[in-house]
Amino acid sequence: MGDLLERLRARGWRMTSQRRVVAEVLTGEHVHLTADEVHARAAERLPEIARATVYNTLGELVALGEVVELSTDGRAKRYDPNAHRSHQHLVCTGCGAIRDVRPTGDPLAALPDAERYGFAVSKADVTYRGLCPDCATA
Amino acid sequence: MGDLLERLRARGWRMTSQRRVVAEVLTGEHVHLTADEVHARAAERLPEIARATVYNTLGELVALGEVVELSTDGRAKRYDPNAHRSHQHLVCTGCGAIRDVRPTGDPLAALPDAERYGFAVSKADVTYRGLCPDCATA
DNA sequence: ATCCTACAATGGACGAAGTCCAAGTCAAGA
DNA sequence: TCTTGACTTGGACTTCGTCCATTGTAGGAT
């Protein structure tokens, strides 16, 4: 994780202060931030960073496979820096909290050929939903 | 399926021409329309129907469990009238086409208790992704 | 160390998707 | 048929994201 900046440089990324800050914000906390949250945290260190730059940088990180984009709720997309360990997501139906989870087996295996309709199926994104402990008692 | 209007009436729905048209548009074609597409099709029969009415009606149908809301791509939500037969979705990464699919087993069973973090997990939404036959050859 | 230039950042306008609300309309029970 | 509360309308507004012309700069070349 800590060598994200190394990997990016090795891939020919031009290293700007803006990109560095965005990458650091993402890897600093293992939570699932929205683009605006990333922008807010980045702006604490680099006050004049533009929203468009954050969007661009996030898009590049996603394209490079360093970050996973989630749209669990039809609202703002969230960015998950935990891209190198395959996992799924558990979302609270009350407060929207998100946890990374690792189900057993390969979710793809549950889809028989007869249900693939000729698609070259390459991945399965699973969103488990339910009330988190805090919301259950509240 | 055809008795959706019956069920709605039985639940105390006030039956207006707008609601009838929206319900008919959804059940008429077994595809996954966006709210704007539903509005466009409804407007063919009822030209002055408001967008807000379509949104309201779709929201009510979802709340009643008659329709399932999908946000597979972070763009416009889609509405799936096939709510009474449990299924998942297969989405083309090229063109966005969506098919209903039925994996084997219960996706929830793949999430061990140790991975539930105290959540009362109640459902699992699975999105399989891959290229459809048309996009694969193009 | 300095220069060049292609790549990156800026910021403000724009667009898509969806929500809100005050005023008008109407379904259906009395 | 009358009444009334639920429903619809349409336009303003919000949120999330994209676009683009201009300005800035990282990093290789000299």
For residue B63, what are its two tokens? 């709340």
Q: Do A80 and A100 meet the contact criterion of CB atoms below 8 Å apart?
A: yes
Assess whether A61 and A126 both reside in one domain.
no
Assess whether B73 and B39 both reside in one domain.
yes
| Cβ pair A129:B123 closer than 8 A | yes
Question: What gap in Å lies between CA B104 and CA A53, rounded to an integer?
Answer: 43
Q: Do B129 and A123 meet the contact criterion of CB atoms below 8 Å apart?
A: yes
Series of mean pLDDT values for 10-residue runs along chain B (138 residues)? 82 96 91 97 97 98 96 93 95 95 96 98 97 90
- pLDDT band, residue A137 (cuts 50/70/90): confident
Phi, psi (rounded to 5 degrees) for B136: -65, -40
Q: Do B93 and B104 meet the contact criterion of CB atoms below 8 Å apart?
A: no
Percent of chain B with pLDDT over 70: 99
Amino acid at A47: P
Assess whether B102 and B124 both reside in one domain.
yes
Report the pLDDT value the prediction gives residue B2, as an integer from 0 to 100: 56
Assess whether B66 and B98 both reside in one domain.
no
Domain of A107?
Answer: 88-137
Sequence-ordered alpha helix ranges (H) in A46-124: 51-63
For the sheet containing B78-80, what is the strand order? B33-34, B78-80, B68-70
Assess whether A62 and A122 both reside in one domain.
no
Question: B75: which nucleotide lies closest, measuring CA to C1'?
Answer: C17
Of A99, A54, A104, A93, the C-alpha closest to A80 is A99
User: Cβ–Cβ contacts within 10 Å for residue A137, how many?
Assistant: 7
Q: Do A31 and A49 meet the contact criterion of CB atoms below 8 Å apart?
A: no
Residues A72-127 pLDDT 10s? 988 999 999 999 999 999 999 999 999 999 999 999 999 999 999 999 999 999 99
- For residue B62, list chain A residues with Cβ-Cβ distance below 8 A: none
Q: How many angstroms separate the CA of A59 from the C1' of D19?
A: 15
Q: Do A51 and A39 meet the contact criterion of CB atoms below 8 Å apart?
A: yes
Assess whether B55 and B94 both reside in one domain.
no
Residues A9-29 pLDDT 10s? 999 999 999 999 999 999 987
Q: What is the CATH number of the domain that holds B106?
A: 3.30.1490.190
- For residue A55, list chain B residues with Cβ-Cβ distance below 8 A: none
Q: What is the DSSP string of B66-118?
A: SSEEE-SSSSS-EEES--SS--EEEEETTT--EEEE--SS-GGGGS-GGGTTT
Report the pLDDT value the prediction gives residue B74, as an integer from 0 to 100: 86
- B131 touching A, CB under 8 A? yes
Question: What gap in Å lies between CA B61 and CA B4, rounded to an integer?
Answer: 10
Asked if pLDDT for residue A2 goes beyond 70, the answer is no
Residue in chain B lying closest to A123 (CA): B129
- For residue B69, list chain A residues with Cβ-Cβ distance below 8 A: 74
Number of separate domains in chain A: 2
